[in-house]
Structure 1
Amino acid sequence: MADPGIADEQLRALLGTLKTRSSLTYVDLAKLASCSHGAAQKYVTKPGHERGESTLKALLTALGADDIERAEALRLLKLTRPDHRDPAQVTFASAAAAAECTVWEMERFTPAEATVHTAIDRGAYVPGRHHAVTPPPYVPRVHDTALRADIAAAAAGDLSALIVVRGDSSTGKTRSLHEAVHALCPDWAVVRPRSAAALRGLAASGLVNRRPCVLWLNDLRKFLGSDGTGLSLDVLRDLLAVRRTRPVVAVGSLWAETLRDAIAEEDRHSDNIDLLTTDNEWVRWHDVPSDLLTSERVSARELATGSRDARLDEALADRDRVGFAQTLAGAYELLQRYTNAPHRLNRLVLDAAADSHRLGHTHALSAPLLRDIAIGWWREERGRTSPPDGWFDDALAYATKPFRSTQGVQALIPLDDAAGYDLADYLDQHLQRVRLKIPPPAAFWEACLTHAPVAQAHHLGKRAYQRLLYGHAIGLQRRAADDGDVCALAEWAAILRVRDDLDALTALSTERAEGCVFLQLARLHARRRTAGPAKRAWHQAGAADRLGQADAVLADIGKLDPQWTAQQWRDLTTAGSIRPYRLITKLAELGLVSEAIAECRELLGQDPAAPQLLLTLQGKAGDDGAGIPPGPPSGDIRSVAARLHADGDLTKLRRHSEAHPDKVVRRHLTELLLTVDREDEARELAETSRAASRTYAAFLTRQARWRELGRMIAEGNNEASTNLRLHLNGDQELDDTALLIKHHGLDTDGTIAG
C-alpha cells in the first residue's frame, strides 16, 4: 500500500507547482474556487490536511490544470486516504463531530496541527521550488522533567489536573507539549474543542470516555470567558474528577500577560480568578523561560553539530537578539514585515487584528471585521476619506504571504475551520504591548457589533462597559441577549441601573420579564428610596435569580427596611437555600445584632463555628470584648509596611517595598507618596503595580479629577474604571461632572459622552 504521507507531500508539490505557474494569489484562488482564503492556502500547503475531492476539483479548475495533471492530482488524493479505518475510530470521529471537537490520531498529530511555529529557514530560497518543512531537532528544556512527570502521572491515572505551560510568545511552549504527549501518550487520540462552549459541553458528550485522550487546550485564552461561558473549575472537575477506565491528559498553554488580563482586579471573584490564581489541585503550572538556559544552550549546540541543521545554528547565533526559539519562529522577520510594510493600510490591518485580541475577541477574525476596523483607524488619522480601491485585498495578500517558502511564517494566518484569520503569536504579543494604551475608535466597537460572532458579543460588551462606553456596551449585550444569553441581558439591565435610567429599565422589564431584569429594577428603586416598588420587583424575580443576586439587592433594600430584609433572609434559610450561619452574618450586617445573637445561640452544639461567631457578635454588641481576632503578627511584611507608613518613613518604606513586592506593601508606599506630595513617583509606581494603580485611582477619585480618570479608563486601566464606577454607584452625593458621567458614560477618548 502507498504511504499516505508520501502521497500527501507529492500532492502538495503538484498543487504548489500549479499555483506558481498560474501566478494567482491565494485571495484570487479562493475567489475562483468559491472557498475561503484559509481553505485554499491550507489545501495547497498544509501537511496532513483533510482534503475533500470537490474542493480539489474546484482548485484544479481555477489553477488551469490540464487533464493529465487533474488525473494525477485525483490519484494522489485517493492515496492520501487509508483504505481501511477501524470502525471504533469512525464512531469516535462521529462523536467528536457531534461534540464540536477536532480529533487526530496521535501519529497524525503533526507539529503543524499542534500549531507549533514553523521554523524559518534563512538560507537561500528558490522561488517555485517545493520545500518540505520539518521541525528542527528538539532541544530538551529544563522544565521538561517536571512537565513530563505530570503528564506521565495523568496518563497513568494518578493525576487529575490541567497541565499548563506559561511564558511569553514563541518561547517553545507548544513544542514542549507536543513532544511530551507524543512520547508519553502513543496511540492515544488528541481532542481539541472548537470553542469554549464545546469545551463546557465535553464532559456531557461522553467523548473522552470512549478511549484514552489528550485534551489539547493550546492557547488557553480562547477557552476563557465571563462567568458561565468559559473554562472553570467546575468544568475541569466534571472532566477530570470522575472515576474512569480510560485516562484523560489535559494540557494547555498561556501567555503570562494573558494570565494577568484574565484576572483583572474587578473580576476578583470570577471563574477566571478561581481557575487561574487560587491555590487549587486542578491546575498545574510549568513556567517556560524566555530564552535558553546555559545547559539547554549546550544541548542545542550538540544537536546543531550532529544534525547539521542550519536553523539551529542561526537560532543559537541570535543575531537579532530576540531569543533562540523566537529566531526559529521568525520573530525578527515578523516585526520587519510589519515595520517595512509598503503602505500604511497594510499595517492597519495587522493593528486591527492585534486590537481585536487585546480587547477580548478570541474567535477567528473575519475579513469584514478586519476591514471595518482598519478603515476606522484610517479615518481617525485622515478624516472622512476612503482608502484606494482594492486596498483590502492587497493588504490581506501582503499580511498572509509566507516568508521564504510556500509554508513559511505568515503575519496573518488563514484558519482551516473558519472563514477568518489569526495573528502570528509573536507579532500579536508585540503589537498588544506597544498598543496597550491606545484607545480604540468608535469604529472598532461598531465593527464588533456587526461582524463579531454572537458568542463573543457578551464578553466584548463587558470590555466596552469597563471603558464606560454605555452605548456600545448596550448594543453588544442586546445582540447577545437576542440570541438567548441571559447573562448578557443581566449586564444590559445593570448598565441601565448604573445610569439611573428608570424608564428604560422599566420598559426592559416589560419587554423581557426575566428575573435578572427585575432584580436590577429592585436595586434601582431601592437607590431611589422607593421601598414598595423595590420589594415588588424582588418578588417578581424567580427564586433562583433571587438567590444569585440576594447579597446586592437585599443590601440596598435593607438600608430602607431592615426588618423586611431580615425576613427575606429567614425565608431563604427556611427554604434551605442558605445555611443558618449566613443568616446570622446577614442579620448582623443589617444592624440586628441582638437577633443575630439569638439565632447564633440556637446553633450552639450544631455548628462548630458558632461559639467563635457568638463571641464576635457579643463583642459588637458591647457585651464582651473577647472573641475579636488578633491583628497580624507585628513582624510580618505588611505590618512592617503599615508601621513605616504611620511613621512617615518614606526611605525605609521604599527599601521595604523593593525587598517585598507585596500588593499591600505597595499600597502603603503609594499612599505615603501621595501624602508627601510625590504624585509623579506614585503615578510611576502605578504603571507597574495593580495595587498601586488602584490606590492612585482612588486618590484621583477623592480629588474629583475626572478628566485624568477618564483618560486612564480610555487607556484600558481597569483599576481606574472600577474606582470610578464604585463612586458613581455609591451613596455619597455626586458633583455635576460625576452626574454627567453617571448618566451618559464616556466617549472612546475618555471625555464625557454626548
Structure 2
Amino acid sequence: MFFAELRRVGILKRDRLGGRPTDNALSKLPQPPVSRDTVGAWLRGERFPQQVEPLLAVVGEIRAEAVRRGLLDTPANGESGGSVAELLAEDRWRGAWKAEQQRRTRSNQEGAERRQARKALEDEERRGRQAALADRPRPVRFWTSKRLGVHPAIPGHPTAPGGPDFVLPAYVRRPHDDLLYTRLASAVTDCASLLVVVCGASCTGKTRTSMEALKAVPDDFQLLFPTDADSLLAMLATDALGPGTVLWLNEAQHYLDGHAGEAAAAALLRRLDADGPFIALATLWPDHDKTLTTAPMSKDDPDPHRQARMLLAQAHYVHVPASFADHMDTVHEAADQDASLAAALEAGGTDITQILAAGPDLVAHYDHPDGPHGVHGKALISVAMDAHRLGITGPLPLDFLHDAAPGYLTSSERATAGPDTWFAPALTHARTLVRHIISPLQDVPRSSGMGALPGMVTLADYLQQHGRRTRQRLCPPATFWNAATHHLTKTDGLIRLAQAAESRHRLRHAAHLYCAAVESGDSLALTLLTHMRKKAGDLEGAERLLRSAADAGNCQAMMMLATNGQMAVGEKEAARLWRAAARAGNPRAMAHVAERQEKAGAKRRAAWLWRAAANAGHSPALAHLARLREYAGDLEEAARLYRAAVDAGNPIILEDLARLRENAGDQEGAARLYREYRTIDGNPSSTVGGHAGRVGRGSVQVRDVVPLQGRPKAWANELVMVLL
C-alpha cells in the first residue's frame, strides 16, 4: 500500500504537474541532500526512504507546486479516490511511513527467525551425519597436543617412574606464528573458508605451530581429524564440515596421495567455495609439497596429482624455518624456566626443535647400532628408509621388512643371525625408545577403535627425511624389490616402486612390480609395463602381454590393443575390442562406442552409452552431455554437468562453464571461473576484460568429446529427448 501511494504521487507529478518540480530540484531539499536517482526511485515505488524527514520534504514541495497550479482540491489520480490535498497531506505520509517501517521491521524479524530456525535444523542434521562418522568432531579445545600429532620433547631431566610420558616445552614464538595467527583470525572474522598449509622439514615444529595458532579460533568451533583419505572423503560427502569447523590435516601427503587423495582434493576444493568460517589447516614437508604441485613434463605423461595441485594452488602457505638462529636470545630466556629447552641448548646448535624431538639421537641410534642384534635392527630401519624415499607413504608390513633385510647385511652379519630367531631382537632394537620419547619404528594406530594395527609399523618422520638425504644415491638390493612385490598391496606404491626400479635399470624387478599392480586391478600399471616392453624393443612381448590381459578381461589392455597402430589388429578386431570393453563397463570405451553409434545414426543406443559413461564419472562424456543440454537450451542442467565434468578430473571444462555463466549475464561468476581456469598447469593469464580473461588451451589436453559444430539443432534436441 505504501509503495502504491508513492507511485500515485509520482504519476501526479509527471502527468498533472508537467514533471515539476524536477527530481534534481527535489533531491536538494532534504538535509543532507539525496541523489536525483534516489528521489526517482521513491516516486516509482521502488525504494523505501530510510528516514521520514527527507520524504516529507519531497512530498511537501510537490504539494506546494500543486497549490501554485490550483490543483489542491481537485480529485487525485488512481482508484483510491480522494483529493490531491489528501494524497499529499503531511500527517498521512508520516503515519504511512511509520506503519511501513514497523511492517518491514516485523518482516525482518520474522525472516531472521526463519533463517535461525533453518540454520538450527541444518545444524541438527549435520550433527546427525557427524555422529555417524568414524572420526567424529570434537570441540577445538578438547584435542590434546599428543592427539593432534605434536612430537613430545626430551624431558630435560631424569624421568621418575610414573612421571609424565609426554613433555611439551615452552613455546618460542617467531614471525611466522604471527602470520598464521592473523590468517586464522581473519578467516573467523570474515566468515571465510580458508586452506592454510604450514610447510617445513621434519621436526621443525609444523604441528606445534599449527596447534598454537588454534588459539585464534573461538572455543565453540569443532575440529575434525580424519584418519586417512577415505575418512576425509566421508566427511566431505556427508557435508560434515559446516561453518564453525576446523579440518586438521597433519602430514597432508597422506590425505592427498593416490586415487582416494585425488577424490578428496577435488571435494575439499569444492568445500572451500562454500560458506564459512571454515579452516582447513594442513602440514606438509617441502619435498611432498613439490611432488603434489609439480605438473607433468608432457601432456602425455601420467598426471597423478592434478586435483591436489589445483587444491594447493588455492592454499595460503606459512613456511616454518628449520633454525632458531635469529631468535636464540628468546630461546635462552625461555630456557631459564624450561628444562627441555635448557637441555636442547646444552646439546649445542640452533636446530632447537629437532633436538627437542630427539632427531639427532634417532640418527645416532641408527648410525651406531650396538649389541649383537643392532646391525640387524639397522637393516630393518634401512629397508623402511628406502621404502619411504622411493614412494611408499603408508604403514609397512613387518613381513616386508623381514624378507627385505638380509640384502642390507654383509655375509658375516647374516651368519651370526639365527635363521628363526634373529627378527624379534632386531625389531626390538629398531623399536628402542630414544631419549624416552620416540622410536625409529613405531606402531600404527587403528583407523578406528583402540590399539595398534597388527603386523604394521611406520618409520619416524625425522628418519624418513634423513634417509631421503643420505641414501638418495643408493640402490636397494634385490631382496628389497622381491619383498615389495610379494608383500606390498597398494597399487599407487607399487607403481612408484616399479618406476624407481625402472629408472635404476632394475628392469626385471620393475616388471614384477608392475605386474603386481596390474593384478590388483590398476590399469595405469599395465600401460607403463607395456611402454617399458616397447621401449626395450620387445613389441611382440608387449602385444602378448596386452592380449593375455585382454583375454582375462582387462579393459585397458583391450583399448590399448585397439588403438596401437604398431600391433597387428584390424579394424573389425579393434571395433570388437572397444565393444567388449564397453560391455565390461569401461566408461572411456562406452564413450568411444557411443561416438561410433552416433555416426552410424543409432541415436538411442548412443544416448544410452553416453549416459552410462557419464554416470560412471567419465569427464568427456559429462562434458559432451553438458554441451547437448546447453545447445538444447537447458542451461541449468548444462551447468551441473559441466561442473561434474570438472570434478571428475577435467578442469579444462572450467572454460566452458565460465562461458556459460558469461552468456547468462553472470559476469562476476564467469570472471571467477576464468581465474580458476588460468591456474591450471601454469596457463599464462590474459587480460581480464571483454571475455573476462579467457585464455587459449595452450598445452592442456584436448577434450575427448564429439564436437557439436555443424550439427543441426533438431538433431541435438532429438538426442536430448532420448536422454530424458
Larger radius of gyration: 2
Q: Is 1:329 aligned to 2:357, yes or no? A: yes
User: Counterpart of 1:96?
Assistant: 133
Give the aligned CA root-mean-square deviation in angstroms: 4.1
Partner of residue 118 from structure 1, selected from 146, 149, 152: 152
Deviation readout 1:260-307 (Å, 9 max, x if unpaired): 34456756666666466679752221111111252x3333333233xx
Partner of residue 402 from structure 1, selected from 418, 433, 443: 433
Shift of 1:102: 6.2
Give the direction of change, closer, same or farther, for the CA distance of 1:227–1:434 in structure 2 (3 Å limit).
same
Q: Is 1:504 aligned to 2:532, yes or no? A: no
Q: Is 1:131 aligned to 2:164, yes or no? A: yes
Distance 1:134 1:224 in 2: 31
Deviating more after overlay: 143-152 vs 353-362: 143-152
Partner of residue 142 from structure 2, selected from 103, 108, 113: 108
Q: Is 1:242 aligned to 2:271, yes or no? A: no
Q: Is 1:521 aligned to 2:561, yes or no? A: yes
Distance 1:213 1:302 in 2: 36
User: Counterpart of 1:545?
Assistant: 588
Distance 1:262 1:548 in 2: 30
User: Counterpart of 1:576?
Assistant: 624
Partner of residue 473 from structure 2, selected from 426, 437, 441: 437
Shift of 1:517: 2.1
Deviation readout 1:18-37 (Å, 9 max, x if unpaired): xxxxxxxxxxxxxxxxxxxx
Equivalent residue of 1:285, what SS? strand
Shift of 1:123: 2.6
Partner of residue 220 from structure 1, selected from 249, 252, 256: 252
What amino acid does structure 2 have at the position aligned with 1:323?
D
Equivalent residue of 1:207, what SS? coil
User: Counterpart of 1:687?
Assistant: none
Deviation readout 1:245-266 (Å, 9 max, x if unpaired): x643211111112333445675
Deviation readout 1:187-212 (Å, 9 max, x if unpaired): 43332322233334432133324x73
Equivalent pair of 1:318/1:324 in contact (CA under 8 Å): no
For residues 419-434 of structure 1, what are the structure 2 equivalents within 5 Å? 419=454, 420-434=456-470
Equivalent pair of 2:292/2:309 in contact (CA under 8 Å): no
Equivalent pair of 2:383/2:401 in contact (CA under 8 Å): yes
Shift of 1:329: 0.9
Shift of 1:366: 2.4
For residues 173-572 of structure 1, what are the structure 2 equivalents within 5 Å? 173-209=206-242, 212-226=244-258, 229-230=261-262, 233-243=265-275, 247-262=277-292, 266=296, 274=306, 282-292=314-324, 294=326, 296-305=327-336, 308-319=337-348, 321=349, 323-342=351-370, 343-378=374-409, 389-405=420-436, 408-417=437-446, 418-419=453-454, 420-454=456-490, 456-467=493-504, 469=506, 471-488=508-525, 491=528, 499-500=538-539, 501-514=542-555, 516-526=556-566, 537=577, 541-542=581-582, 544-545=587-588
Distance 2:153 2:418 in 1: 35
Equivalent pair of 2:192/2:277 in contact (CA under 8 Å): no
What amino acid does structure 2 have at the position aligned with 1:300?
V
Distance 2:412 2:406 in 1: 10
Give the direction of change, closer, same or farther, for the CA distance of 1:318–1:196 in structure 2 (3 Å limit).
same
What amino acid does structure 2 have at the position aligned with 1:545?
R
Shift of 1:508: 1.2
Deviating more after overlay: 155-164 vs 469-478: 469-478
Distance 2:623 2:222 in 1: 47
Give the direction of change, closer, same or farther, for the CA distance of 1:200–1:521 in structure 2 (3 Å limit).
farther
Distance 1:182 1:485 in 2: 44
Equivalent pair of 1:379/1:385 in contact (CA under 8 Å): no
Distance 2:220 2:394 in 1: 30
Equivalent residue of 1:162, what SS? strand
What amino acid does structure 1 have at the position aligned with 2:222?
A
Deviation readout 1:89-116 (Å, 9 max, x if unpaired): 995664221xxx3654433321111221
User: Counterpart of 1:712?
Assistant: none
Shift of 1:230: 3.5
Equivalent pair of 2:561/2:567 in contact (CA under 8 Å): no
Equivalent pair of 1:165/1:252 in contact (CA under 8 Å): yes
Task: Answer 1 or 2: higher relative contact order, Cα 8 Å, separation at least 6.
Answer: 1
Equivalent residue of 2:223, what SS? strand
Equivalent pair of 2:152/2:357 in contact (CA under 8 Å): yes
Give the direction of change, closer, same or farther, for the CA distance of 1:147–1:478 in structure 2 (3 Å limit).
same
User: Counterpart of 2:709?
Assistant: none
Partner of residue 176 from structure 2, selected from 131, 140, 143: 143
User: Counterpart of 1:65?
Assistant: none
Q: Equivalent pairs: percent with the same residue?
A: 26
Distance 2:269 2:511 in 1: 34
Equivalent pair of 2:256/2:308 in contact (CA under 8 Å): no
Give the direction of change, closer, same or farther, for the CA distance of 1:393–1:89 in structure 2 (3 Å limit).
farther
Give the direction of change, closer, same or farther, for the CA distance of 1:573–1:429 in structure 2 (3 Å limit).
closer
Distance 2:154 2:509 in 1: 42
Equivalent pair of 2:137/2:223 in contact (CA under 8 Å): yes
What amino acid does structure 2 have at the position aligned with 1:144?
D
Shift of 1:314: 3.0
List alignment gaps of at least 5 residues for structure 2: 1-123, 447-452, 597-619, 629-658, 661-683, 685-724
Equivalent residue of 1:143, what SS? helix
Deviation readout 1:106-163 (Å, 9 max, x if unpaired): 333211112211111243355x453353301111121112222322344456443421
What amino acid does structure 2 have at the position aligned with 1:439?
C
List alignment gaps of at least 5 residues for structure 1: 1-86, 555-571, 581-605, 608-631, 633-754
User: Counterpart of 2:3?
Assistant: none
Equivalent pair of 1:236/1:282 in contact (CA under 8 Å): no
Equivalent pair of 1:502/1:524 in contact (CA under 8 Å): no
What amino acid does structure 1 have at the position aligned with 2:441?
L
Equivalent pair of 1:372/1:443 in contact (CA under 8 Å): yes
